[in-house]
Amino acid sequence: MSEIVLETEGLTKYYGDSLAVDHLDLEIPRGCICGFVGRNGAGKTTAIKLMLGLLEPTAGSSRLLGCDSSALTPAIRQRIGYVTEGHRLFRWMSIAGLEKFQRAFFPKQWDDKFFTDMIEYFDLPKKKKIKHLSNGQRAQVSLALALAPNPELLIMDDPTLGLDAAIRRQFLEGMIGLIMREGRTVLFSSHILGDVERVSERIVVIDKGILRAYCSLEQFQEAVKKVIFTFADSVPNEVNIDGLLHCKRIEKQLELTLVGTDDEQIAEWAKSAGAENHTIVKMSLEDQFIEFTAPANQKRLFKWEER
Ligand code: ATP
């Protein structure tokens, strides 16, 4: 079994009376790129801050690289890269100044060539001040600063927020560049499901602080499906099938969104309900995510683990 580099156990956070993260249990193995998704206010930033020891949990715990998040030593912190939402950087500094500043925290592991290559790849002048860069360029500098110390574990909170499609792709390629270095692990939150789909092997879905799914991307994509049943006469009033997320009636057709229901169960249900035929429709990851986290489906229903 591969080494677990990020682990949370019953991780819980209340802000006053308001529950932001609810008993989150996660185990992320070394070498994995993991997409962290959830609607606005789902608890992603809070969970990330808890993992990094920047917030104190109300209950539960988390461990990064085997060290409790509440007691991360400087030596462990040096092995972790963190890219924050909004890319907060000293605005008055130049890229070169920030490089020097950041390098001082990582005297042994800073990779000058990698940083310079990335800055050149993004076509950024090192002399330019952060305040004179666009949002996208600031994101690129953030990524280069986070990657240059060659972190074993990279945690990023919505790193591509506000970036255009081409820059997002560059950014993601930079991330893949990191993972190509052996044994590196990435957890990144994003609202852009296309990005998650492009680079992630695993996916974490949270909703109202609750873990709704943690599995391989492939498992998630196979599990959530839309099926259209056609009936000769009327559409049945009651639909009783395992994994039902959503049901829509359109004249003589019934459109069901299902999770974890296998094709055999679907065929059996079609037969028992008297459907003339049924078609399984391919869904995009974005559609799957929207259906899976729709307000009507907010029970703690489904969770898959890699076997
Ligand atoms: P988004 O995708 O919109 O950035 P998120 O998934 O990162 O959202 P969080 O920022 O973790 O969500 O917020 C989770 C919940 O906790 C929300 O209901 C939010 O309003 C609340 N919250 C976050 N920070 C605080 C705070 N400092 N004080 C009180 N409530 C907070």
What local confidence, expressed as pLDDT, does residue 147 receive? Answer: 84
> In the numeric block, which tokens belong to residue 187?
């957890």
Name residue 195's amino acid: D
Q: Has this prediction a pTM greater than 0.85?
A: yes
- Spatial CA neighbour of 48 closest among 179, 155, 175: 155
> In the numeric block, which tokens belong to residue 27?
């185990």
What tens digit of pLDDT does each residue of 19-54 get?
A: 999 999 999 999 999 999 999 999 999 999 999 999
What local confidence, expressed as pLDDT, does residue 122 receive? Answer: 84
What local confidence, expressed as pLDDT, does residue 304 receive? Answer: 40
What local confidence, expressed as pLDDT, does residue 121 receive? Answer: 84
> In the numeric block, which tokens belong to residue 218?
């492939």
What local confidence, expressed as pLDDT, does residue 6 receive? Answer: 97
Q: How far is the CA of 203 from the centre of ligand 1 (A)?
A: 20
What local confidence, expressed as pLDDT, does residue 15 receive? Answer: 96
182 burial type by CB count under 10 A (0-12 exposed, 13-18 middle, 19+ buried): exposed
For atom 17 of ligand 1, which residue has the closest CA? Answer: 41
95-122 burial code (b ≥16 CB/10 A, e <16): beebbeebbeebeeebbeebbeebbeeb
What local confidence, expressed as pLDDT, does residue 306 receive? Answer: 37
Name residue 7's amino acid: E
Pocket of ligand 1 (CB under 6 A): 15, 18, 20, 38, 40-46
Q: How far is the CA of 190 from the centre of ligand 1 (A)?
A: 14
Kindly list the distances between the CA atom of residue 205 and the CA atoms of 168, 208, 209, 213, 223, in Å, as whole numbers in the listed order.
21, 10, 10, 5, 14
Q: Which residues of the chain have pLDDT under 50?
A: 298, 300-307
Instruction: Sort residue 10 into left (φ over 0), alpha (ψ -120 to 50) or beta.
Output: left
Domains in the chain, please, with CATH?
4-208 (3.40.50.300), 222-306 (3.30.70)
Torsion of CA 190, 28, 69, 146, to 10 degrees: -50
- Residue 186 · residue 34 · CB < 8 Å: yes
What local confidence, expressed as pLDDT, does residue 288 receive? Answer: 94
